[in-house]
Structure 1
Amino acid sequence: MPETAEQTTDVLVVGAGAAGLYAALRAARDGAQVTLVSATPLAQTASYWAQGGVAAALALDDDPAAHLADTERAGRGLVRRSAAEALCREAPEAVRDLEALGVRFDADRHGRLVLGLEGGHTHRRVVHAGGSATGRRLVRQLSARLVAQPGVRVLENTRVTALWTSDGRCVGAITDGGRQLRARATILACGGSAALWSRTTNPPGSVGVGAQLAYAAGAELADLEFVQFHPTAVTGIPGREGFLVTEAIRGEGATLLNGAGERFVDELQPRDEVAAAVWRTMLDEGSDHVLLDMRQVDPDGFPNVVGALRESGLDPATTPIPVAPACHYTMGGVASDLHGATRVPGLFAIGETACTGLHGANRLASNSLAECVVFGGRAARAALDVDELPDRLDPAPTEATVTRPERATQKALWAHAGIERDPRGLAQLLGDPHPLARAIGAAALAREESRGAHHRVDFPQLDRALDGVHLVIADGEEPRRERWS
């Protein structure tokens, strides 16, 4: 088939991480014709590297209400309750469906799931697969099940360069090489934007591809000022710069030490508090790192982390590891409802690409993989209800709407939209050549308070008048305030 030929499908999924794979599989299981576009070979996406697990209230002493309370506490007064209720209520069934699909979560010798404890959780409720290899196991199994489904077309090593709209509706997408993909519904599952920052735990492709595509097509973005920095990313080790050491290791007893070898923080506080404490300790000591002491942790429980560190010449069983914060997760993204729908008819967003308000100002650990499955399934079902395409469509776009950041943009975001922000630095982002950098700067300037993962040195206190207020921005407009129910 020529590259420029049109291909038509019921559901087009852009992105092959956990969210995209599950949404595509859910739609295919419901009888839809599905096309999945992956910029990499299957099972090599950002989700592949996810070390966290899937959070769900599965223990006898746990319940969705407790999970909801922890999610809201971590989100600092900005969590959209309806989104969090949906996640916490549906996460246990999501885990059971993953098991039915062949994902083997870690269990004890009696066959009971092993539940981990992570920062911000009051109960053990995080399931893992292969310790810190959960993302790898999950995407491999979902990929295998997807390609076995009839009616599924997978386009690997292919990038979507623009969304195709007609009469205000999304009707598909254009890929590099000029392939035109017509679709009744398009689901963006392209991951987040953390690689826009110069120091990051994310692979290079995490530059807000989905946000850029949707923004240019008329969708709105929300909560861009809330950017989570993981407190324990390896630093100073050639070849492992930014390598994430999973929070689950702190749940099993690892501690953070300053230059004097003293603990300085409760390691199981929500991630924003731990990252801020690490950052402040580094500034106070004039150091570029603190130390993560894993010597009391069973190395067999986290084989890929321990193996990677040993390959780099450090044995965490005998030597504390130098770590520092790195940009890890963007709570903001394409403004979406509880079924992933955006303000552009026919266009959906899920996973880290989306912003439903679920995470508020600070994501609770391991809610993200749960979100991929719960909201990926919801979006897939909603996509099947979209009207058929009209016979005549507006011409397909010819210009790409995705821009890769220059190194200067990445350095500017790290310098001016890092863990601590000030108005002078944020104002510099307004003139950045990258559209997302400008939008991030505008959102962070507009939120004149400190909340969760957004800390303004000139407004260090939380402003209760902004509880539940989300900053929403459309292309060419100033951020506006909205309250979401």
Structure 2
Amino acid sequence: MRNELVVVGAGAAGLFAALTAARRGARVALVSARPLAETASYWAQGGAAAALAIDDSPALHLEDTLEAGRGLTKRAAAEVLTGEAAARVRELQELGCHFDADRHGDLALGLEGGHTRRRIIHAGGSATGRRILRALSAAAAEHPQITILEQERVAGLLEGGGVMLRGGTTIAARATILATGGAAALWSRTTNPPGSFGSGLILARAAGAQLADLEFTQFHPTAVVGLKGREGFLISEAVRGEGATLHDDAGERFVNELEPRDHVARAIFNLPGQKALLDMTQVDPKRFPNIVEALQQAGLDPTTERIPVAPASHYVMGGIVTDLDGRAQDRLYAVGEAACTGLHGANRLASNSLSECFVFGRRAALAALDDPPPTDGAVIEANVEAPSRETREAVWQLAGLERSQPNLERLARDPYPLARLVAASALHRQETRGAHGRAEFPETDPALDGRHTILDPAAEIPRFETW
């Protein structure tokens, strides 16, 4: 097959990149390991962040993003996101996405942890990912310039541009965009589907790309615990933005619920039993119908009872190193959670990730269309296999919310390469910063401000680089 662009992954970033290119007349092959609208983006309950309110601005959104990033956010990347997010929301509306509105017909903007203004758009309350993915999937399926290859996996990249599928079929293209999602499912307790184990990172590394910041894993503070059939089910941050509160076993509140996620997650982790009770009885259940319904089906009524919650692996800030157009190297791009532009720093600001998919998905697609036509070249194969249950348990136990040198050294001997790289990165950063906590180094080291953990191709020993 021959196309101008190959997009690997049909989540929010991949779909938006494919549609951006196709709407400019390019032929696009969209490769998805799962049927459309079954990716991690589908389960995203949070919304997309953009400065849309009268009392808001890109400058205020930028301040909040830098604050959440704990001294590690790349300012240029944050400026791109906060400056372009509002335009991408309008483009989503043109593509058929309908967002929640108030009684006057204006966008109903939510508040989430770390934000100083209401700037979160939602669709169907906490069904935002589902609604957006359905609209974008329908637009992609109907577009004559997009060929969709469902339930296909990529086994390698072509040196001359394009990919090789597991069955041996090759798809030549000017460039490949990896939109394969993150690696949060490397941890056994996670809010992510099993496929989010970092497959794009493995492909890119085999092809010679750098990885960065794998020690920064965001643990979402409010994932359901101890409820059969709903273990790890995510309760959106937006619920706390609308007034839900967190309580210890004695019924006392113990944290400001609207602090950034690293702070709230660590406060729960430090409680006896490392779990808390979320009280959303004062929240309008009509705002979050799918959360209420899911919990009621599991036998717990959040309109009358408190919900047991504990942190779970949710989002890896690190990934494939790219520039501000998503470029990792010649003919290879990465967007969404697979990428690391430095935008999220040490702690992602809530709902910036969905905006990132659209802002950087568009930029990567436009940049890739300027690449030269594909040429002949070898196939760079990669061993893209999922981690074992034993590896996932080891990553959770040894590289959880608080890491220690002995535990990380044990993980550094795990047979799974990506688990070893997480351990090496966490060992290299001898401080506690944002989502990365080291027992031996409980303080943040100012000397490491702006210093990112880089893994060069084939190297398992990281180095620092200033961005």
1:258-407 alignment, distance < 5 Å: 258-281=248-271, 285=272, 287-342=273-328, 344-390=329-375, 392-394=376-378, 396-397=379-380, 399-407=381-389
Quick one: distance in 1 between partners of 2:173 and 2:451?
34
CA shift digits 1:86-145 (9 cap, x unpaired): 000000101111111110000012110000000000000000000000000001100111
Quick one: distance in 2 between partners of 1:222 and 1:370?
21
Are the counterparts in 2 of residues 405 and 434 from structure 1 also a CA contact under 8 Å? yes
Are the counterparts in 1 of residues 212 and 340 from structure 2 also a CA contact under 8 Å? yes
- Match for 1:459 among 417, 441, 464? 441
Per-residue deviation at 1:381?
0.3
The aligned amino acid for 1:301 is: R
The answer on 1:231 being equivalent to 2:216 is no
The aligned amino acid for 2:415 is: P
The equivalent of 1:54 in structure 2 is 48
Please identify, of 174-183 and 153-162, the stretch whose mean Cα deviation from structure 2 is larger.
174-183
Per-residue deviation at 1:165?
2.1
Quick one: distance in 1 between partners of 2:362 and 2:382?
29
Per-residue deviation at 1:384?
0.4
Which aligned runs of 4 or more in structure 1 are off by greater than 3 angstroms? none
SS in 2 for 1:30: coil
The equivalent of 2:180 in structure 1 is 190
The equivalent of 1:156 in structure 2 is 150
The equivalent of 1:3 in structure 2 is none
Please identify, of 347-356 and 102-111, the stretch whose mean Cα deviation from structure 2 is larger.
102-111
CA shift digits 1:52-84 (9 cap, x unpaired): 001000000000000000000000000000000
Quick one: distance in 1 between partners of 2:305 and 2:157?
50
CA shift digits 1:309-362 (9 cap, x unpaired): 0000000000000111000000000001100001x3100000000000000000
Are the counterparts in 2 of residues 197 and 327 from structure 1 also a CA contact under 8 Å? yes
The equivalent of 1:240 in structure 2 is 230
The equivalent of 2:405 in structure 1 is 423
Are the counterparts in 1 of residues 268 and 274 from structure 2 also a CA contact under 8 Å? no
Quick one: distance in 2 between partners of 1:304 and 1:164?
42
TM-score, normalised via structure 2 length = 0.99
Per-residue deviation at 1:476?
2.8
- Match for 2:112 among 118, 123, 126? 118
SS in 2 for 1:9: coil
Quick one: distance in 1 between partners of 2:19 and 2:403?
41
Quick one: distance in 2 between partners of 1:269 and 1:141?
32
Are the counterparts in 2 of residues 335 and 355 from structure 1 also a CA contact under 8 Å? yes
Quick one: distance in 1 between partners of 2:199 and 2:52?
34
The aligned amino acid for 2:357 is: C
Quick one: distance in 2 between partners of 1:290 and 1:161?
42
- Match for 1:25 among 19, 24, 27? 19
TM-score, normalised via structure 1 length = 0.95
Q: How many residues align?
A: 466
Are the counterparts in 2 of residues 233 and 244 from structure 1 also a CA contact under 8 Å? yes
Are the counterparts in 2 of residues 403 and 434 from structure 1 also a CA contact under 8 Å? no
The equivalent of 1:104 in structure 2 is 98
Are the counterparts in 1 of residues 431 and 441 from structure 2 also a CA contact under 8 Å? yes
CA shift digits 1:196-227 (9 cap, x unpaired): 00100000100001111101111110011100
Consecutive unaligned residues of structure 2, counting only runs of 5 or more, are: none
SS in 1 for 2:258: coil
1:403-482 alignment, distance < 5 Å: 403-477=385-459, 478-482=461-465
Per-residue deviation at 1:288?
5.0
The equivalent of 2:190 in structure 1 is 200
CA shift digits 1:163-190 (9 cap, x unpaired): 2225xxxx21111222111111000000
Per-residue deviation at 1:289?
2.2
Quick one: distance in 2 between partners of 1:474 and 1:437?
16
CA shift digits 1:350-390 (9 cap, x unpaired): 00000000000000000000000000000000000111122
What is the Cα-based RMSD across aligned positions, in Å?
0.9
SS in 2 for 1:232: strand
SS in 2 for 1:472: strand
- Match for 1:14 among 1, 8, 13? 8
SS in 2 for 1:187: strand
Are the counterparts in 1 of residues 158 and 377 from structure 2 also a CA contact under 8 Å? no
Aligned residues with identical type, % of pairs: 61
- Match for 2:122 among 124, 128, 132? 128
The aligned amino acid for 2:114 is: G
CA shift digits 1:379-426 (9 cap, x unpaired): 000000111122x323x35x5421210111111111111100001111
SS in 1 for 2:423: helix
